[in-house]
């Protein structure tokens, strides 16, 4: 399974803000996160088409951002 398929298959992903309202990120937004290396899976920053290794033990969104960082274990 590639990283994009894995991220889009998750039930819970970080929300994006639309004004004052939080909404689920679109699939294209999730692809951009992977392209911009904003997602770390098992200590690796994969691109959208990179294969990931299972089991996934660590998933971090926006590692460099103090305000937006989201860690899923």
- CATH number, domain of 68, equals 3.10.290
The total number of structural domains in the chain stands at: 1
Beta bridge partners of 44: 41
Backbone dihedral angles phi then psi of residue 52, each to the nearest 5 degrees: -110, 155
Q: How far apart are CA 53 and CA 64, in angstroms?
A: 23
Contact indicator for 34, 49 with CB cutoff of 8 Å? no
Per-residue model confidence as pLDDT tens digits over 9-48: 988 887 777 778 888 888 999 999 999 999 999 999 999 9
Q: How far apart are CA 13 and CA 11, in angstroms?
A: 7
Looking up tokens 């299972």 gives 54
User: Looking at the predicted structure, is the pLDDT value of residue 71 above 90?
Assistant: no
| pTM for this predicted structure | 0.83
- What residues make up the domain containing 30? 3-72
């Amino acid at each position: 399974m590639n990283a994009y398929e894995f991220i889009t298959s998750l039930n819970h992903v970080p929300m994006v803000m639309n004004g004052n309202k939080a909404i689920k990120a679109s699939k294209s937004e999730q692809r951009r996160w992977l392209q911009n290396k904003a997602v770390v899976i098992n200590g690796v920053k994969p691109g959208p088409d990179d294969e990931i290794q299972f089991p996934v033990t660590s998933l971090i969104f926006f590692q460099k951002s103090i305000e937006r960082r989201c860690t899923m274990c």
